[in-house]
Amino acid sequence: MEKCKILAIETSCDETAVAIVEDGKKILANKVLSQIDIHKVFGGVVPEVASRHHLEGLLPLIDEALREAKCQLEDITAVAVTNGPGLIGALLVGLSLAKALAYSINKPLIPVNHLAGHIYANFLENDPKFPLVALIVSGGHTDLIYMERHLEFEIMGQTRDDAAGEAFDKVARALGLGYPGGPLIDKLAAKGDPLAIEFPKAYLEKNSFDFSFSGLKSAVLNYLHNSKQRGENIKIEDVCASFQKSVVDILVDKTVECAKEKGVKEIIVAGGVSANSGLRRAFEEVCTREGFNLSIPSLSLCTDNAAMIGCAAYYLYKAGRVGDLDLNGYASMPL
């Protein structure tokens, strides 16, 4: 049978990404042009600047991906693109190019939800079995999802305020560490004592799978403010380790509780924060202890990339879920 080669484009935030994925599994090319250094000076992503850099970077990146995959445009079975959620201007750059490309080679256009993409990063390297519980932890989202089969997502819990990655980024900013904060806190936390400071953990109402990180973020800011006022020495490594422990404990506890309530054996974790070494370790420990099968993508597939979009698109394509040329982009879009 002829191979299904999907060219995928991802421009929802500050990574310009293009990938070519065969049969939802084999990554023939996975190119990511990070804009981190450009946005770093502003302390966060500037949407208009992100759009302009996508515009500049996308076409050369497509050429590179085709070269790396040893593919001609005619070999492509379908063009996939993230059409939400994300920064609307950034999304529209990828979407416009994907439409033009699909039209010019007369191949289907497949719209992909960015969050579905994160989940499907797990299906590139592993073979998760349904039913499963998925935790998505990124810069914009913290979602607990139950899946009985492919492409069916039941939201079990969501954040009521800040996303996990957002909390990492805001605490890092308060500590003067720079952007993006997650990897910087992760590194410092490894040298600190997670039990040094007791920061709050919001478990919310009994049986709730929702999350809340704004109280924890405020507690860290208050701790820094009060310590400074009292002239006390702040050990940044301990603040990072203690903050990270609170986030990790809540994420792991709620995910495991949700998996038990749904009676599933399979847990998958996805999104930028799943690159966190403390989170990965905690999930590995609890899943080994409690007998769950665990899947977390390799580091490069945790943060934004287009291979995950190409993988999700394969299942959408097989299900006949292709889009038209009037396809739109959406800043917020449910799974």
Cβ at position 72, least distance to ligand KG4 in Å = 31
Residue with Cβ nearer Zn ion (210 or 304) = 304
* Contact status: 275 vs ligand KG4 (CB under 6 A): yes
Euclidean distance between CA atoms 202 and 241, whole angstroms: 17
Which ranges constitute the DSSP H helices of 190-235? 214-229
H/E run at residue 245 = helix 236-262
Is residue 271 a contact point for ligand KG4 (CB under 6 A)? yes
CB of 305 to ligand KG4, least distance (A): 8
Q: Pick from ligand KG4, Zn ion, none: which does 89 bind, CB < 5 to 8 A by kind?
A: none
Among 304, 306, 308, 335, binds ligand KG4 (CB under 6 A): 304
| Closest distance to ligand KG4 from the beta carbon of 274 (Å) | 8
Among 304, 316, 317, 333, binds Zn ion (CB under 5 A): 304
Q: Give the three-state DSSP class for 99.
A: helix
Binding segment for Zn ion among 28-36, 46-54, 304-312, 323-331 (CB under 5 A)?
A: 304-312
Residues 223-235 as b or e (16 or more Cβ within 10 Å = b): bbeeeeeeeeeeb
Map residues 143-182 to x or -, x wherever contact with ligand KG4 holds by CB under 6 A: ----------------------x--xx----------xxx
Instruction: List Cβ neighbours of 26 (8 Å cut-off, separation of 6 or more).
Output: none
Q: What are phi and psi of 241, to 5 degrees?
A: -65, -40
Contact residues for 25 (Cβ-Cβ < 8 A; gap 6+): 123, 124, 311, 314
Can residue 24 be called a binding residue for ligand KG4 (CB under 6 A)?
Answer: no
Amino acid at 255: T
Question: CA–CA separation, 157 vs 251, rounded Å?
Answer: 11
In this chain, which stretch among 74-82, 199-207, 213-221, 265-273 interacts with ligand KG4, using CB under 6 A? 265-273
Nearer to ligand KG4, 157 or 271 (CB): 271
- When CB distances are held under 5 to 8 angstroms depending on the partner's kind, the choice from Zn ion, ligand KG4, none that residue 169 binds is ligand KG4
Q: Which is nearer to ligand KG4, 107 or 280 (CB)?
A: 280
Q: Which stretch binds Zn ion (CB under 5 A): 105-113, 120-128, 281-289, 303-311?
A: 303-311
- By beta-carbon proximity to ligand KG4, the closer residue of 57 and 108 is 57
> Which tokens sit at 18?
């293009």
Contacting ligand KG4 within 87-146 (CB under 6 A): 138-140
Minimum distance, C-beta of residue 283 to ligand KG4, in the bound complex (Å): 13
Rule CB under 6 A: which of 175-194 touch ligand KG4? Answer: 180-183, 186
Verify binding: residue 266, ligand KG4, rule CB under 6 A: no
Residue 276 touching ligand KG4 (CB under 6 A): yes
CA distances from 7 to 52, 202, 203, 284 (A): 22, 41, 41, 33
Collapse the DSSP code of 165 into the 3-class scheme (helix H, G, I; strand E, B; otherwise coil) and give the result. Answer: helix
29 — phi, psi (to 5°)? -155, 145
| CB 282 to ligand KG4: min, Å | 12
Asked whether 181 and 173 are in contact (CB, 8 A), the reply is yes
d(CA 28, CA 34): 20
Which segments within the chain are labelled E, that is strand? 5-10, 15-22, 26-34, 78-84, 109-113, 132-137, 142-147, 154-158, 266-270, 293-295
Q: Are 253 and 137 in contact (CB under 8 A)?
A: no
Residue at 64: amino acid letter = E
Instruction: Pick the binder of Zn ion from 35, 113, 138, 255 (CB under 5 A).
Output: 138
- Residues near Zn ion (CB under 5 A): 138, 304
- Residues near ligand KG4 (CB under 6 A): 13, 138-140, 165, 168-169, 180-183, 186, 271-273, 275-276, 303-304
